[in-house]
């Protein structure tokens, strides 16, 4: 067995060497300076990701697989300020599902239930993110600090 100390400079150099090896395997045109048009398209991608409920986190150059039914999508990062709006959407979906069931629109029910699952998941995710990250564990006693029990 041996021991090896890794210093930040070693890790940085190893990472740089890894990147250089990876780049040598890829076509060099992928690492050229982008044109103004390409850069503008990249920046506009992020402008188009701003939505009424929050931000779409899909990758640059990818299509929306939900055809802009964002409440269904796991990539929607809802803003905490839009929690009330999400609850309104959920309530509306429940009403629409009840109507579709009454009218016998079974295909409609299926699609609305998919949207409802997304609309119910978003506030839950917001609530989890807003929970305090610090948990109060109480104050330790002297015996716990010293690694001994308090009993004699």
The pLDDT tens digits of the residues spanning 14-72 come to 999 998 888 888 887 777 888 899 989 888 888 888 888 888 888 888 877 777 678 88
- Give percent above pLDDT 70 in the chain: 88
Q: What is the mean pLDDT of residues 68-86?
A: 86
The residues, ordered by sequence, that sit 6+ positions from 34 with a Cβ below 8 Å of its Cβ are: 42
Distance, in Å, from the CA atom of 10 to the CA atom of 37, rounded to the nearest integer, reads 38
Task: State which of 11-15, 56-60, 87-91 shows the largest mean pLDDT.
Answer: 87-91
Closest CA to 62 of 75, 53, 71: 75
Contact 118, 72 (CB under 8 A): yes
Confidence of residue 143 (pLDDT cuts 50, 70, 90): low
Mean pLDDT of the chain: 83
The separation between CA 12 and the C-alpha centre of its own chain, rounded to angstroms, equals 28
Distance, in Å, from the CA atom of 136 to the CA atom of 110, rounded to the nearest integer, reads 44
pLDDT the model gives residue 144: 57
What's the pTM value of the predicted model, to 2 decimals?
Answer: 0.58
Query: For the chain, how long is the longest CA-to-CA vector?
Result: 77
């Amino acid at each position: 067995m041996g021991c090896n100390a890794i210093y930040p400079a070693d890790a940085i150099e190893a990472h740089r060497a890894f990147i250089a090896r990876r780049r040598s395997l890829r076509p060099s045109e992928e690492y050229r300076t982008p044109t103004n048009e390409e850069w503008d398209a990249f920046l506009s991608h992020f402008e188009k990701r701003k939505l009424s409920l929050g931000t779409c986190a899909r990758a640059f150059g990818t299509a929306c697989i939900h055809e802009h039914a964002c409440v269904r999508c796991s990539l929607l990062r809802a803003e905490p300020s839009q929690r009330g709006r999400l609850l309104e959407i959920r309530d509306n979906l429940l009403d629409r599902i009840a109507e579709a069931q009454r009218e016998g629109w079974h295909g409609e029910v299926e699609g609305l239930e998919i949207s409802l699952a997304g609309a119910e998941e978003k506030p839950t995710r917001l609530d989890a993110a807003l929970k305090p990250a610090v948990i109060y564990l109480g104050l330790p006693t002297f015996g716990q600090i010293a690694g001994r029990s308090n009993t004699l």
